[in-house]
A and B are shown apart, each in its own frame.
Chain A
Amino acid sequence: MTPARAPSPGAVHVTAQGWGWRHAGRKAFAARRLDLDITPGERVLLLGASGAGKSTVLHGLAGVLGTQDEGEQEGELLLDGVRPTPAMGRAGLVLQDPETQVVLARVGDEVAFAAENLSVPRDEIWQRVDRALDDVGLELPLDHPTTALSGGQKQRLALAAVLAMEPGLLLLDEPTANLDPEGVVEVRDAVVRVLGRTGATLVVVEHRVAVWADVVDRVIVLDAGGGVLADGPPGTVLVQDSTRSRLAGAGVWIPGWRPAVGGAMPSSAPGPALLSARGLTVARTRRGPAAVESLEIEVGAGEALGITGPNGAGKSTAALTLGGLLRPRAGTLEAQPLLAGTAGSNPFRWRSPQLVQRIGTVFQEPEHQFLTTSVQDELEFGPRRVSDAVDDQRIAELAERLRLTHLLGANPFTLSGGEKRRLSVATMLATAPRLLILDEPTFGQDASTWAELVTLLRELIDDGVAVLSVTHDADFVDALGGATLHISGGAGRLVSR
């Protein structure tokens, strides 16, 4: 497959022959039996189900998988016929999380860092810095603090930081998965501009295919069992019925398609009241500024409520307060008898065993809520807080329902992103709370996990559980029915569906 445009002389030729990698301590290979030939200047979207080894391939191409102590390699993965090492500076890797890639305090220094490591002479470094910042459209002074950037800006900075190496291969590992819709477009456009100038080869991993479908020449789908599931131009792979169905089966988000979900669309009539907020003002800290003021919310049994709004508007703070985890700044938050049961009416005053039986809050980062060293212990943790006798049957059912049965012995921290998300929801359901609160539950999830989550939540809603979700995902809100609380500018506005 030859791209329509002429490749730049520096663009990298990627080849893989029977390549595989197994992380030390893991039984299964993260990626295996991979044969690839990516011509210089080609733009590739790398897809595959969660756990198919997409990130492993990118890390392998960047040469950061490590030495023999860190895992076992088979076959060959080559850049222009040479095994990749970061010191060559041939490949530039941008990671998913904007927060963990910033090294230095000032924008200019951050971009210069990679060029310094490659021993580029000083005068040339600053020329590269200017060009890289220009390429990604960050028009900021060089001494601008890196902490004062939005998520989209941080990702563009990360892109500029690898561009300073003048890489012939750009590797993007879900670069927009943690961003709000505006940030996604910002980063995508910056990548397009960069490729237009440099002509570098591109390999991008992303679940949301629509973002990149128009940018790439070729789509490669990894099979979770090893090897390649589909390979071809996006006009073929993403359009043909045969590949579309296989992609859908692998959990890939294809444009113009939404995964089929089970369960009925929840009815719009909420059941008896569970939780009422009257003039509720929420704040993250005791003395800090209020995030949202005078919220009026009534959550009924079997109701779905989506909390939407731009980044930093206070959505999570509102959700944490409704979940009884943060003290209300003003106004009242009252648990109705159906939710409160034998406990008092103020959720913030509940002791933690009381809380887990009534309200389950699933945090954005699943790892923050993992407390034990195995999936089984993790699922049993909540029930053990409540009573000494744990219902093994219920745990087994829950594991089965969220496809965790084969992972019961695994350490939660070693799971893939989708598996971690499923586990974090399952741990909350183990104590059967009547109100479930989820913070960005679909961030970075593949379509299968997404559909499973929606199906599960619909069933819960049908059973009378109220589901409150903070999200940017309009499809998700639609799929659950229910009303939306839109938060912006310090106020909430209720929009019925």
Chain B
Amino acid sequence: MSTTYLTPVLTGRTLLRANPVSKLFAAVVITVALMSSIDWVSAAVVLVCELALMPLLGISVWGLLRRIWPLLIAAAIGGYGTALLAEKTGDVLLAIGPIVFTEDSVADGIAVGLRGLALALPGIFILLTTDPTDLADALAQKLHLPHRFVLGGLASLRLVGLLVEQWETLGLARQARGVGSDGSLVARTRNLLGQSFGLIVQAIRRATRLATAMEARGFGGGTRTWARSSTYSALDAVIAVVGLVVAVGAVTTAVLAGTWNFILS
């Protein structure tokens, strides 16, 4: 019954086998390339490459859409807003009263929308194909982040899932005490705040108990060994190279097409 963030439904067997660090690296270089410029060509190149890599995810286009539809809407709204408000240069395409779209403003809008999607997808790819435990192992063993921080974060992921259930139970328990969801807006707001506070109290208590259990098992010392070894394979080199190729390809194409628009210049 409980939603669990510690054991998400993962797909994409190939990417699942790769080390999370290589996936993070690829995502970072692509992100840097995208962030460097606001133009529709570089964004489109990245997006096309990402979609071409879809088969690696092991889910259908429909499956992806079901997970990211809010992003599509956000990208569309962002694009529309930009087209509406950007500088009105170039030929006028549409003018209804104060609403004016020009060639350039529409190009800007499309760039912003595409860029938003292209930026979001690498994160989605990583989320769908990375086991949180593997990620923690990689962050601690390969990137040498402090293990207390990494494992503490991993353990707290589990509590996030339990919170959803706890919220519902708390609501019913409080209602039984006479704190209902009925009443005025003020009363409801106060109740919501009270329930949130109750949830925080429960979360802290659970976290304290979990911390006690972890401490009793010797967690928190200066050194530890790792039962699972986080390793690199040839696959990780391929992923890193693909990331670089996509990033460099996008920048090169945009420069050649003359749309490159370096944000610092």
Residues of A bordering B, CB below 8 Å: 59, 62-64, 86-87, 89, 91-93, 95, 97, 99-106, 108-109, 112-122, 125-126, 129, 145, 147, 158, 161-162, 165, 284, 320, 323, 325-326, 351-353, 355-356, 360-363, 365, 367-369, 371, 381-382, 385-386, 413, 427-428, 431
Contact = CB atoms under 8 A, between A and B. Distances in A.
A34 B129 CA distance: 54
Contacts of B154: 104
Contacts of B7: 105, 145, 147
Interface stretch (B60-68, B101-109, B174-182): B174-182
A361 B158 contact: no
Nearest to B162: A99
B216 A413 contact: no
Contact of B4 (A86, A129, A147, A320): A147
Given A105-B6, A353-B180, A365-B173, 8 more contacts: A62-B216, A95-B209, A101-B210, A116-B226, A363-B173, A371-B194, A382-B177, A428-B177
Contacts of A115: 225, 227
8 contacts: A103-B151, A103-B214, A104-B154, A115-B227, A117-B220, A118-B218, A371-B194, A428-B177
A109 B217 contact: no
Given A86-B218, A147-B4, A116 B176 contact: no
B265 interface: no
Nearest to A363: B173
Contacts of B194: 371
A101 B205 CA distance: 12
Contacts of A129: 227
Interface string B208-233: 01101111111111011111110000
A114 B214 CA distance: 8
Contacts, number: 172
A105 B135 CA distance: 13
Contact of B227 (A91, A116, A427): A116
Contacts of B176: 323, 325, 355-356, 360-363, 369, 428
Contacts of A325: 172, 175-176
A59 B178 contact: no
A158 B209 CA distance: 13
B178 to A, nearest CB: 4
A59 B179 CA distance: 36
B216 A93 contact: yes
A87 B218 contact: yes
Interface in B144-162: 151, 154-155, 158, 162
B261 interface: no
B56 to A, nearest CB: 22
Interface residues of B, number: 51
A122 B227 contact: yes
Contacts of A145: 4, 7
B175 A122 contact: no
B133 A162 contact: no
A197 to B, nearest CB: 20
A147 B132 CA distance: 15
Contacts of B170: 368
Contact of B180 (A91, A117, A355, A363): A355
A86 B216 CA distance: 5
Nearest to B136: A104
Given A325-B172, A351-B180, A122 B225 contact: yes
Contact of B158 (A62, A105, A121, A165): A105
A382 B216 contact: no
A109 B227 contact: yes
Given A86-B217, A100-B210, A121 B177 contact: no
Nearest to A104: B133
A356 B217 contact: no
A432 to B, nearest CB: 13
Contacts of A161: 217
Given A95-B209, A116-B225, A326-B172, A355 B178 contact: yes
Interface in B169-200: 169-170, 172-180, 182-183, 194, 198
